[in-house]
Amino acid sequence: MDELVRGLSKSQQAELAEDHGSNPSTGPTMGDVVAQRYNRRDLLKGLLAVPAIGAVSALAIETVERANAQAMNTSTTPSFNFTEIPAASQERDQVAEGYDADVLMRWGDPVLPGAPAFDPRNQTAAAQAMQFGYNNDYIGYFPIEGSSEHGLLAINHEYTNEELMFPGLGRQDTRTVAFRGMTKALADIEMMAHGGSVIEIRKTNGKWAVVPNSRYARRITAETPMEITGPARGHARMRTSYDPTGTLVRGMLNNCAGGRTPWGTWLTCEENVNGYFWGDMPESHPEFRNYRRMGIPGRWYNWGTYYDRFDVTKEPNEANRFGWTVEIDPFDPTFVPKKRTAMGRFKHEGAAGIVSGTGHYVIYQGDDERFDYVYRFVSRNRVTGNRAQDQHLLEDGTLSVARYDADGTVHWLPLVFGQGPLTAANGFQSQADVMIETRRASDLLGATRMDRPEDIDANFRTQRIYVMLTNNNRRTAEQVNPANPRADNRFGHIVEMIPPGDDHTAATFRWDILVRCGDPSVAGVGATFHPNTTRDGWFGMPDNCAIDGQGRLWIATDGNSPSRTGRADGLWALETHGQARATSKLFYRCPAGAELCGPEFVPDDTSLFVGNQHPGEADEENPNAQPTTFETATTRWPDFRPDMPPRPSIVAITKRGGGKIA
């Protein structure tokens, strides 16, 4: 692995780590299931070979036909109203005509009162701890007094790119290059650039701005004290020399997507935590199997050189304290963040919540790795509307993992100690063990191995759930058959789930594929966009998503590039209902090298916030591309000054003259 990752950026390492995978389960892959179940659209478009048609029951076809007809007949979703922009890759970002895309917050901008101005050539950990962090991902808007023009943004800072952050450094990503330029001072800056930010913003005369010296302003870092709650709290496997009680932990790491709760808290999700640990753990160690399943140690950072807690040979339990969903009150800067262990430990991409018709709070989560799983958490107690009381809902509940069957049924398999194979015979002594080793428990239950599930969102109007499956290029040619044309799935697809009677706690749902991504003009790709989708409108690698106030689906991508798709990443509007279902249009395009993250609408849809992460990175699919650095980035967005590096930033999008987006 070390030879393979030599010279790669952090995002490229994550891609390779996910491609390598860590799931030894022999359970069915999503490709296996799709091979058995397809819908009427596939037959009509001729995407499946004739011999496969006879293998599908009339009942299966009728079931899908009925579901699609129902969606068409009941849809009130309007079409997206904007002029599509061209798909390309350029130094600058671009938004649809008639809209403004204004940079709101950049890496290094002041967050806390007294924060110094950003000086990229004289960075310090103390300054970074008060400034906006690096690689902004999830964005959550929390209105103040219900306003769509005054509120808080809670923003994740996922990871750092040393080669783009620090002058003259170059890539410092593996032990193969011996981290030759790294120092403790630089590592400390990285640690302060992780975590999250809370900023207060206000819209005045149609333009958004950060409210300076806000009483809500907060920075959360890799050192912020946090509380462990739920089944794993106090467990022996959570105890360290720093915290012999197993109830407290410093910081959160690699926070990717997230979510908002009805009681006004921010859910932020730890993803690729394996990359922060190093050291060699012998196979005889009790945690060896657990850590191997999580890809620990990943050795992407050299923090273990300076801090024992990141070295598994010195603190073998520390890594168990990461990989959780964290709940934070953005309105209280003194709030101690809570790691909610009842929601499982894996590489969390997001936390899409919805109140079920039963009154329980339900959260859908993806484990962002090839051949890993989709999860659902159901709170034990019901939502009350009392904020203080509801803030404890995520401490207790049932986590389940999804099995997608060929008849179009999703079965939710509870991850409960003592049930089925989750017993002492398989190494589980308590519910804490099941949550710490959520992945292995799911393997034993026979969950469906998915094509890298990333963000998930629940549509509050239609009650449908959308799962972004980014890609899976490990699908082999041997798996190809007339019913499964997606071997080497480089472009991903989107799965739609439908709960019965708005009951998100039900044991079984229905499922379908909304769209298979990629270039529809290339027959071998097998994309299934609506024929009205233009050559600019199709996309690959769906990552984040958002539901606007009208119940419409928006897709943010990660992985488009000039050599891979001939375009940059961006934000696409995707129809989910009616005759235009699976029609997509490009609304916003990232600057070169960036991926789009965290699309978030204000309640009345008059503003949209998006994040551009790691602008300036090289085209990872181009074998001739030179590594990018602080000095040689592919763009200097958003400042375009020779003394400034590219800076991950939040962009506020508004319609000129006012009005709703699209």
pLDDT per position as a tens digit, 526-565: 999 999 999 999 999 999 999 999 999 999 999 999 988 9
| Beta carbons of 355 and 364 less than 8 angstroms apart | no
- Count Cβ atoms below 10 Å from residue 405 Cβ, excluding itself: 15
Which residue in 451, 443, 488 sits closest to 468, CA to CA? 451
Task: Tell me the average pLDDT across 609-634.
Answer: 91
Confidence at residue 71, expressed as pLDDT on a 0 to 100 scale: 47
> According to the model, what pLDDT value does residue 315 have?
98
57 domain residue, yes or no: no
* Cβ proximity of 332 and 361 under 8 Å: no
The pLDDT tens digits for 200-232 are: 999 999 999 999 999 999 999 999 999 999 999
Q: If we measure between CA atoms, which residue out of 106, 157, 139 comes closest to residue 600?
A: 139
| pLDDT, average across residues 401-418 | 94
Task: Answer yes or no: is 558 within a domain.
Answer: yes
Number of domains in the chain: 1
Distance (Å, whole) CA 604 – CA 91: 31
Residue 171 banded pLDDT, cuts 50, 70, 90: confident
Mean pLDDT of 473-477: 72
- Provide the domain limits for residue 521: 10-36+75-655
Arithmetic mean of pLDDT, 501-508: 97
| 3-state secondary structure (DSSP) of residue 65 | helix
74 burial class (0-12, 13-18, 19+ CB within 10 angstroms)? exposed
Q: Which residues pair with 456 in a beta bridge?
A: 467
- Weakest-pLDDT range from 1-10, 411-420, 636-645: 1-10
Q: What is the pLDDT of residue 477?
A: 65
Q: Is residue 660 part of a domain?
A: no
Query: What is the mean predicted confidence (pLDDT) over 621-637?
Result: 90
DSSP for 372-389, written as a single string: E-EEEEEEEEEP-S-HHH
Average pLDDT over residues 472-495: 67
Whether 419 is in a domain gets the answer: yes
Residue 469, CA distances (Å) to 565, 567, 589, 631 in order: 17, 19, 21, 35
- Rg (C-alpha) for the chain, rounded Å, is 23
Sign of the CA dihedral 104, 109, 113, 116?
A: negative
Q: What is the C-alpha to C-alpha distance for residues 125 and 187, in angstroms, rounded to an integer?
A: 9
Return the SS3 of 254: coil
**pLDDT at residue 43 in the model:** 34
Per-residue pLDDT averaged across 356-378, rounded?
Answer: 96
Please report which confidence band the pLDDT of residue 103 belongs to, taking 50, 70 and 90 as the band edges. very high
Residues facing residue 514 across a β-bridge? none
pLDDT confidence tier of residue 488, bands split at 50, 70 and 90: confident
Domain membership of residue 44 (yes or no) is no
Asked if the structure places residue 53 within a domain, the reply is no
Give the number of C-alpha atoms closer than 13 A to the C-alpha of residue 155, restricted to the C-beta side.
38
Residues 19-30 have a mean pLDDT of 60
In a domain? residue 45:
no
User: Is the pLDDT assigned to residue 104 strictly greater than 50?
Assistant: yes
Query: Residues 265-292: pLDDT tens digits?
Result: 999 999 999 999 999 999 999 999 999 9
Place of tokens 């916030």: 609
Is 52 within a domain?
no
Residue appearing with tokens 């659902």: 376
